[in-house]
Amino acid sequence: MPRNRTELCAAWKNRARALWPRAVAGYLWRSRGRNRMSAVQIVVVGGDSAQVAQVARELSDYGMEWRLRHAPGPADVPAPDAPDAPEVLVVSARESEGGGLPVLAALARRHSGTVRIQLMAPDSGHDLLDVLTNSHRMLNEPLEAMALIEAVESVAELRELLEDPALKQAIERVGTLPAAPRQYLALTALLRDPDSTAAQIAEVVGQDPTVAARVLRLSNSAYYSGGREISDLRTAVTRLGHNALRQLVLASEVFSVGPEADELRERALRISQLAGRLLAGPSADLAATAGLLAEVGLLLPRSAGIDPAVTPYSSTGAYLLGLWGLPGPIVEAVAFHDRPARVRGSFWVTGAVHVAAALVNGREPDEAYLRSVGQYDRLPRWREMAAAVA
């Protein structure tokens, strides 16, 4: 273990150089058609310029050839076609200092191909799915160099996987891909609207009789009903709550056809339920959604000739979710839930989905991975939780 700052910097230099060709350089430079030894251009929008300068010095200490600059506001960010256009945008949480979610949304429209990271105050109260509509990652403010390195590497590695020519060729053999879950996407947009009503939500749910029937059945279960029968959708959607309603609609819509649809849907709901319990706070909803979609790659027909030993269902599923436009952490969790050690950072959505999918399917989670993220001691309790959702 490094004993002081000098040893810590040396350790990170070695790690950075080892990871450099595979992750960040591998995707970012090829996507720009630039020399792979060029410095990554990172612009931090808003916030404290002194803090940005401190992070830039730490990146240099860690051996990262990244150019980190501060932009007081969105108007100071170079245009996408400028020679110094950013490959990574980091947006401060503080609207009063040139950042915030409105700035993130504007930059997402202007820099659609750029990696975008939103800084968040710990007590912001924002819906994570809402934030991730326009960003690839979220980090705590103030920005830290190590967290930035891990976030950029993870996004780059996911993009590298999704742009793998072998994966694209495998997908092309499928022919017609499953359509995006339009009802779920419409419902999600409506639930984000603070002015939406229970009647409007019930109207969206009622567009599919099968989904409406499942919503009514669940709302009348012992867990939700409290002994009072519910016969109308408006009351049902109010009783279930937004998160449970969103997961049920997504499962019903995605796993709606095919000989194994019922089995996949029931297993998906169990994985979702368990994954959501492994994380706290707003992250639980992300984990529940990712867990619900962990096996979506199994929807692709076997007749397409995709070799699972070469192209695992996790990769094809992640590719499909990327086409549907789902948030990056959900796509990443589906892509790597069967190989969680490839995701850098602490135990989060991918780790929760890995544990949930393994336990629901009767497999052992990756012990080495759980030890590396300091979660192995929780495994006995998680096994008990998995038995409860069986």
Determine the average pLDDT of the residues in 138-161. 90
- Give the per-residue pLDDT at 28: 46
Give per-residue pLDDT as tens, 69-112: 999 999 999 999 999 999 999 999 988 888 999 999 999 999 99
In percent, the amount of the chain with pLDDT more than 70 equals: 85
Report yes or no: 119 and 139 within 8 Å, Cβ to Cβ.
yes
Spatial distance between the Cα atoms of 57 and 353, rounded to a whole number of angstroms: 36
3-class SS of residue 120: strand
Q: What is the mean pLDDT of the chain?
A: 84
CATH topology for 171-388 is: Hypothetical protein af1432 (1.10.3210)
Bridge-based pairing of strands 40-45 and 88-91 is parallel
Residue 233: CA atoms inside 13 Å, Cβ hemisphere, count?
Answer: 20
Report yes or no: 337 and 350 within 8 Å, Cβ to Cβ.
yes
What's this model's pTM, rounded to 2 decimal places? 0.77
Architecture of domain 5-162: 3-Layer(aba) Sandwich (3.40)
CA-nearest of 361, 12, 283 to 127 is: 283
Give the residue range(s) of CATH 3.40.50.2300 domains in the chain: 5-162
**pLDDT exceeds cutoff 70 at 33:** no
Give the residue range(s) of CATH 1.10.3210.10 domains in the chain: 171-388
Sheet holding 137-140, edge to edge: 66-71, 40-45, 88-91, 115-120, 137-140
Give per-residue pLDDT as tens, 301-336: 654 566 776 788 999 999 989 888 788 899 999 999
> Considering Cα of 230, then 234, then 236, then 239, what sign does the dihedral take?
negative
Give per-residue pLDDT as tens, 56-67: 999 999 888 899
